[in-house]
Structure 1
Amino acid sequence: MIQGETVRYFAIGLMAAALHTPAWASDLPRPGSPRAPVVISGPSFSITSYIWATAIDGKSATFPPLPAADISLRFRDVLKELNGAIMGSAEMRVDRWSFLVDGQFSQVTSGGSLPGPFFSSLKVRSQSTTIHGSAFYRVYENAVISLDAGSGVRFWNLNNRLQILPGLANLRIDHRVSQTWVDPIVGARLGIKLSGPWSLTLAGDAGGFGVGSRLTWQALGSVNYAWNDHLTLKAGYRALHVDFRRRGFSYDVTQHGPAVAATYRF
Structure 2
Amino acid sequence: MQTLIKAAAIALAASSAAPVAAQEPGDWHVTLQPYILIPAMNGDAAVRGIDAEVDVGRKDVIDNLNIGFLGYIEASNGQLSFGVDTNYMNLDANDDDAVVAANVSQTAIQPMIFYRVLPYLELMAGARYNSLKLGLESPIPAIDGVDRKKDWIDPIVGVRFNAPISDTVSAGVLGNVGGFGVGSDISVQIRPMINFSVASNISIDAGYQFIYMDYKSGSGDDRFVYDVTTDGPIIGATFRF
Query: Under a length normalisation based on structure 2, what TM-score does the superposition of the two structures give?
Result: 0.89
Q: For each residue in 1:42-70, what CA deviation from the matched residue of structure 2 results, as whole angstroms up to 9, or x when unmatched? A: 21001001111111122222x22212x33
Distance 1:123 1:193, change over 3 A: closer
Is the 8 Å Cα contact of residues 13 and 107 (structure 1) preserved in structure 2?
no
Matched, 1:147 2:121: yes
Q: Does 2:122 align with 1:125?
A: no
Give the equivalent residue in structure 2 for 1:246: 217
Query: What RMSD, in angstroms, separates the aligned Cα atoms of the two structures?
Result: 2.5
Aligned position for 1:8: 5
Q: Is 1:156 the equivalent of 2:156?
A: no
Q: Deviations over 1:230-264 (max 9, x none)?
A: 10111111100100011121111111111111100
Identify which of 24, 44, 48 aligns with 2:29: 44
Report the CA distance between 1:94 and its aligned residue. Answer: 1.5
Question: Once the two structures are aligned, what percentage of the paired residues are identical?
Answer: 27
* One-letter amino acid of the counterpart of residue 154, structure 2: D
Q: C-alpha separation between the residues in 1 aligned to 2:60 and 2:95?
A: 14
Greater C-alpha Rg: 1
Provide structure 2 residue ranges, at least 5 long, that are not aligned to the other structure: none
| Distance across 2 between alignment mates of 1:113 and 1:258 | 27
Q: Is the aligned partner of 1:97 residue 2:72?
A: no
Deviations 1:145-196 (A, max 9, x none): x111020000001112234579xx9x99533201110000001100111122
Counterpart Cα distance in 2 of 1:243 and 1:21: 15
Whole-angstrom CA distance in 1 between matches of 2:23 and 2:101: 57
Rounded to whole Å, the distance in 2 between the matches of 1:183 and 1:122 is 29
What TM-score does the superposition give when structure 1 sets the normalisation length?
0.81
Q: CA deviation at 1:124?
A: 2.8
Match of 1:135 among 113, 135, 157: 113
Change (3 A) 1:182 1:190: same
1:113 Cα deviation (Å)?
5.8
Kept in 1, the 8 Å contact 2:5–2:102? The answer is no
Contact 1:111/1:122 (8 A) holds in 2: no
Note if contact 2:42-2:56 (Cα within 8 Å) is conserved in structure 1: yes
Which sits farther off after the overlay, 240-249 or 104-113?
Answer: 104-113
Q: 1-side partners of 2:156 and 2:214: how far apart?
A: 14
Alignment match, 1:174: 145
8 Å Cα contact 1:162-1:174 kept in structure 2: yes
Q: Is the contact between residue 39 and residue 61 of structure 2 (CA under 8 Å) also seen in structure 1?
A: no
For the pair 1:86 / 2:57, whether they are aligned, the reply is no
Contact conserved, 2:202 with 2:237, CA < 8 A, in 1?
A: yes
CA contact (8 A) 1:21 1:50 kept: no
Say whether the 8 Å CA contact 1:184–1:207 is kept in structure 2: yes
Question: Where does the alignment leave 5 or more consecutive residues of structure 1 unmatched?
Answer: 29-36, 116-120
Maintained 8 Å contact 2:14/2:108: no
Deviations 1:210-247 (A, max 9, x none): 00000001001111111111101111111001000111
Structure 1 164/54 Cα, relative in aligned 2: closer, same or farther at 3 Å?
closer
Contact residue 186 and residue 207 of structure 1 kept, 8 A: yes
Determine if contact 1:21/1:51 at 8 Å carries over to the other structure.
Answer: no
**Alpha-carbon distance in 2 for matches of 1:172, 1:139:** 52
Letter in 2 for 1:8: I
Q: Is the 8 A contact 1:13 1:126 kept in 2?
A: yes
